Chains A and B, each alone.
Chain A
């Protein structure tokens, strides 16, 4: 889908444009620099914060508020979810009908050292790949 992407909590800044608003529907702390604004949901209303990396919980009330917010918000909202988020179809349908400029970003776990060859094998693997011109 055009308005969907994937990222990790540490890399999400690469998916953000200047002026974006973040709606974090995960339990993860997201890493991004200064100047990125977050949406907080309190007492049935959204507020915009410059400094708080808040997490929001999906609910009917939040969904209704998002529709209302979309009517007045000129900025793009990046909605961050993860694999445990069970209402993705409902969310994407709501966003599609809301008129809100948006992107849904699905968080994945990071690909770190455990995902690759053991460090002890580095030299041998390097040589094998070199022999075939890969590196």
Chain B
């Protein structure tokens, strides 16, 4: 096997090191001593769909066309949900010389597309029948009650029930990994734990509060993840490049701020009255709108059917919006830590579909792009949010590319599957 890529969705680098050092993750402690662990920056914005797409293609969103979980279809106000079909760049397993690959639970791969090997789709996946390639592998997965996604409605039944569900799903996924591992001489395997992200979203407050009755529950889940990592490590030999990545970091979330509410209050966004407002309800005089989480689009002529912002006006409007977001506060706290220009961060054949601005959330604020403008601060039981900084990148192997000082998700393949001229012996 050339490459084993392990994904641990939402595991901050500092947390992984902390758990390795404290005994929560003993297999990780041993693993981390055998290679290099560095912090890595996520996609902009720091959302799983875009980040995993960057990890597996080596491109930013302008190269693979996934900017978030949602997007507007070209020249329309119709909201679409990104899928494997939105992906317009080849992941590493689809490259001509990749060889047969086993790809399991990678986000943004639903519905399953034909490829050389076996693929079971990751989030957002709805129906196992459409999540498996080749289809003849479906029956065995159904037999073990493989779930394409944890039942998130169980959050309402309490944290213990929810975590039990995450464990159940993880167990079946790992069973499937080991079952299929030896069935073919795979050149590449990629396997992603996503329960960690779900745990972090709903139990982050319990991680931070050591007196919480669910604090140990949180640690125990990571201990189980680590046990599964140990089982994987036992099967790997020294000739296989091992890479372990997360797509973003995590931190506390206290507020969810509706950015479209802010834009409407400031006069940038105008909607006609609608019982279920959506982008189709934007009035022609709208100058800017938001999509999750913090993507800002100018309502440009040519790009949108009723767009009013000309190319000549765009620069001035972007400056105006940048100042607006840099100064915007909610409950006396700034909502933005930074505002990036789309044209400065995205490149590639789909850069024209990029947001014009990306607003990065400040402190413990999260940003939403809902079109329901009834509440600026939205109630939510989610208490952990993604961070752009401090995702994890670990690698060990013999033939690696140099790790950039400013490591980003789109650099992963440069390190683990370097072009021949980039090869260097690992230290």
Q: Which residue of B lies closest to A6 (CB)?
A: B352
**Does B34 sit at the interface, judged by CB under 8 A?**
no
Q: Which of B70-78, B318-326, B417-425 contacts A (4 or more CB under 8 A)?
A: B70-78
Partner among B81, B293, B349, B368 whose Cβ is within 8 Å of the Cβ of A121: B81
**Which residues of B250-305 have CB atoms within 8 Å of chain A's CB atoms?**
256, 292-293, 300-303
Q: Which residue on B lies nearest to A105, using beta carbons?
A: B352
**Binding-face segment, B82-90, B97-105, B164-172, B233-241:** B82-90
B91 surroundings in chain A (CB, below 8 A): none
Q: Is the CB of B81 within 8 A of A122?
A: yes
**CB within 8 Å for A114 and B85 given contacts A11-B302, A128-B152, A129-B124:** yes
Contacts of B366 in A (CB 8 A): 133
- A131→B301 CA distance, assembly (Å): 34
B311 adjacent to chain A (CB < 8 Å): yes
Within 8 A of A (CB), among B165-205: 197-198, 201
Is B117 engaged at the interface, CB distance under 8 Å to the other chain? Answer: no
| Residue pair A135, B370 in contact (C-beta under 8 Å) | yes
Chain B residues with CB under 8 Å of A111's CB are: 65, 71, 73-74, 86, 350, 353
Query: A13 — nearest CB in chain B belongs to which residue?
Result: B302
Known: A117-B81, A134-B292. A112 touches B382 (CB 8 A): no
Question: Given A133-B366, A133-B382, A135-B69, are A8 and B352 neighbors across the interface (CB < 8 Å)?
Answer: yes
CA distance A114 to B80 in the complex (A): 10
What is the bound-complex CA distance between A5 and B123, given in angstroms?
A: 32
Look across to chain B and name the residue whose beta carbon is closest to the beta carbon of A16. B311
B144 at the interface (CB under 8 A from A): no
Q: Assess the B81–A129 pair: CB atoms within 8 A.
A: yes
Contact A135 B292 (CB under 8 A): yes
Whether the Cβ atoms of B349 and A108 lie closer than 8 Å is yes
A124 to B83, CA, bound (A): 14
Could you tell me the distance in whole angstroms from the C-beta of B388 to the nearest C-beta in chain A? 16
Interface bin, chain B: 35 or more
B406 at interface, CB cutoff 8 A: no
Contact across chains for B307 and A14 when beta carbons are under 8 A apart: yes
Quick one: closest A residue to B314, CB to CB? A14
Asked if B302 contacts A115 (CB within 8 A), the reply is no
Please indicate the chain B residues that have their CB under 8 angstroms from the CB of A7 in the complex.
352
Nearest residue (CB) in A for B343 is A5
**What is the minimal beta-carbon distance from B176 to any residue of chain A, in angstroms?**
21
A13 to B76 CA separation, bound complex (whole angstroms): 15
**Docked pose: A13 CA to B304 CA in angstroms:** 10
| Minimum C-beta distance from A62 to chain B (A) | 25
Are B126 and A124 neighbours in the complex by a CB distance under 8 Å?
yes
Which chain A positions have C-beta within 8 A of B351? 5-6
Contact between A133 and B380, CB atoms less than 8 A apart: yes
Interface string of A91-135 (1 = CB under 8 A from B): 000000000000000101011111111000110111011011111
Contact call B149/A128, Cβ cutoff below 8 A: yes
A108 x B80 contact (CB < 8 A)? no
Q: Which residues of B contact A113 (CB under 8 A)?
A: 73, 78, 80
Chain A interface size, as a band, is 35 or more
CB of B134 closer than 8 Å to a CB of A: no
The answer to whether A134 and B349 have CB atoms under 8 Å apart is no
**Chain B residues near A110 (CB-CB < 8 A):** 74-75
A116 B83 Cβ-Cβ under 8 A: yes
Instruction: Check A135 against B70 for contact (C-beta < 8 Å).
Output: yes
* In the bound complex, CA of A112 to CA of B312 (Å): 27
Which chain A residues border B85 with CB–CB below 8 Å?
Answer: 114-116
Contact (A125, B352) CB under 8 Å given A132-B198, A133-B201: no
Known: A8-B352, A135-B370. A14 touches B69 (CB 8 A): no
**Residues A33 and B311 in contact, CB atoms below 8 Å apart:** no
Is residue B230 within 8 Å, beta carbon to beta carbon, of the partner chain? no
Residue with the greatest number of chain A CB neighbours at <10 A, chosen from B47, B69, B81, B198: B81
Chain A residue at smallest Cβ distance from B78: A113
Name A48-74 residues within 8 Å CB distance of B: none
B123: nearest residue on chain A (CB-CB)? A128
Q: Given the complex of chains A and B, what is the CA–CA distance between A112 and B307 in angstroms? A: 18
> Smallest CB-CB separation from B309: which chain A residue?
A14
A131-B153 in contact given A11-B302, A14-B303 (Cβ < 8 Å): yes
Known contacts A124-B126, A129-B81, A133-B256; A15/B311 CB under 8 A: yes
Q: How far is the CB of B195 from chain A (nearest CB, A)?
A: 12
* B124 contacts A125, C-beta separation under 8 Å: yes
B147 contacts partner chain A, Cβ-Cβ < 8 Å: no
Q: Which residues of B contact A135 (CB under 8 A)?
A: 69-70, 292, 368-370
CA gap between A115 and B312 in the complex, in Å = 31
Contact residues in A for B82 (Cβ distance below 8 Å) = 116-117
Q: Mark A23-36, 1 if CB is under 8 A from B, else 0.
A: 00000000111000
Residue B155 CB within 8 A of the other chain: yes
Q: Can you sample 5 A-B contacts with CB below 8 Å? A: A17-B312, A106-B349, A113-B78, A121-B126, A125-B126
Going nearest first, the 5 A-B pairs with the smallest beta carbon separation are A13-B302, A116-B80, A14-B302, A131-B152, A110-B74
